[in-house]
């Protein structure tokens, strides 16, 4: 009999974070020392392989998640109609606070595009911080406000027909300094991964990136992209 090696569920791969990993979690820095100590003790990290689902539509929300390293995507369920990618989720991003606040099941899928280190704060710890930490409340409120603006911009991007403009706006969204502070000015992403997020072929993404580089908005580097003019990316509208 042949036994297939099926991977363990993500929860069973969880481990305690290292000091360096904790240092890269942005909201920990705003907490009072006692709250920070409790939060650090509650956080776990797991390595998601490509194709692993961190969140699935209809499943209960049990953690507030953050990307320590790697790249995820947020999408709908293909069984409900055409597959739509809503956004990429790069390093430094924390997501799902709206679902946790409403205590409802997930309405979207979150899937790993490459091997990714994903952190989780249990829902009980999330609500405990909301109940006792004003700085944490401000952080979450700012997250929700910035995310609202992001999805309004995404709605506008969906109406763009020029591929170069779509690539530019989607790239600008991935360099969001508040929602994705772990990205900085250099995003580790392949053209194939960007194609998955934008809904274009790798070849067409390559053409768009060359045009954006020629316009002085980005620089294509080995293994990633460096933004040179973030505001220019947001406004880019090819003639």
pLDDT value at residue 71: 93
Sign of CA dihedral 23, 189, 143, 81: negative
Measured CA distances, 102 to 113, 125, 142 (Å): 27, 15, 17
**How far apart are alpha carbons 201 and 193 in whole angstroms?**
10
> Is the predicted pLDDT of residue 1 greater than 60, yes or no?
no
Range of the domain at 65: 10-153
The tally of domains found in the chain comes to 2
pLDDT tens digits for range 121-146: 999 999 999 999 999 999 999 999 88
Residues 127 and 203 in one domain: no
Tell me the C-alpha to C-alpha distance, in Å, between residue 137 and each of 82, 96, 126: 36, 15, 10
> Where among 153, 179, 195 does a domain terminate?
153
d(CA 181, CA 184): 6
What pLDDT is stored for residue 158 in this prediction?
A: 65
Average pLDDT over the chain, rounded to an integer: 88
Tell whether 103 is covered by a domain. yes
pTM: 0.82
Here the CATH number for the domain that contains residue 205 is: 1.10.10.10
pLDDT digits (tens, 9 = 90+) for 154-182: 666 666 678 898 899 889 888 888 888 88
Residues 59, 87, single domain; the answer is yes
Convert the pLDDT of each residue in 22-66 to its tens digit: 999 999 999 999 999 999 999 999 999 999 999 999 999 999 999
Judge if 32 and 86 occupy the same domain. yes
Closest by CA position to 100, among listed 153, 60, 54: 60
User: Residue 48: what are its φ and ψ, rounded to 5°?
Assistant: -95, 130
Considering the domain boundaries, does residue 212 fall inside one? yes
Residue-level pLDDT at 87: 83
Q: Would residue 5 count as lying in a domain? A: no
The domain boundary residue, chosen from 126, 153, 180: 153
Is residue 60 situated within a structural domain? Answer: yes
pLDDT tier, 222 (very low <50, low <70, confident <90, very high otherwise):
confident
Q: 219: helix, coil or strand?
A: strand
- Are 142 and 33 within one domain? yes
**Same domain, yes or no: 16 and 106:** yes
């Amino acid at each position: 009999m042949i036994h297939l090696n099926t991977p363990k569920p993500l929860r069973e791969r969880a481990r305690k974070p290292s000091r360096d990993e904790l240092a890269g979690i942005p909201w920990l820095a705003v907490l009072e020392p006692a709250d920070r100590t409790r939060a650090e003790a509650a956080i776990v990290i797991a390595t998601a392989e490509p194709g692993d689902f961190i969140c699935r539509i209809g499943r209960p929300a049990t953690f507030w998640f953050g990307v320590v390293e790697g790249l995820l995507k947020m999408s709908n369920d293909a069984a409900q109609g055409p597959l739509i990618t809503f956004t990429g989720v790069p390093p430094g991003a924390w997501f799902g606070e709206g679902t946790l606040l409403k205590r409802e099941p997930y309405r979207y899928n979150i899937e790993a595009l490459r091997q990714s280190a994903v952190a989780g704060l249990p829902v009980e710890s999330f609500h405990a911080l909301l109940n006792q930490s004003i700085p944490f409340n401000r952080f979450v409120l700012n997250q929700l406000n910035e995310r609202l603006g992001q999805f309004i911009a995404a709605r506008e991007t969906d109406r763009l027909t020029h591929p170069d403009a779509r690539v530019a706006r989607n790239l600008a969204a991935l360099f969001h300094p508040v929602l994705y502070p772990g990205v900085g000015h250099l995003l580790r992403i392949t053209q194939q991964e960007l194609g998955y997020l934008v809904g274009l072929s790798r070849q067409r993404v390559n053409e768009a990136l060359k045009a954006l580089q020629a316009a002085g908005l980005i620089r294509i580097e080995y293994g990633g992209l460096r933004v040179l003019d973030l505001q220019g990316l947001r406004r880019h509208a090819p003639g």
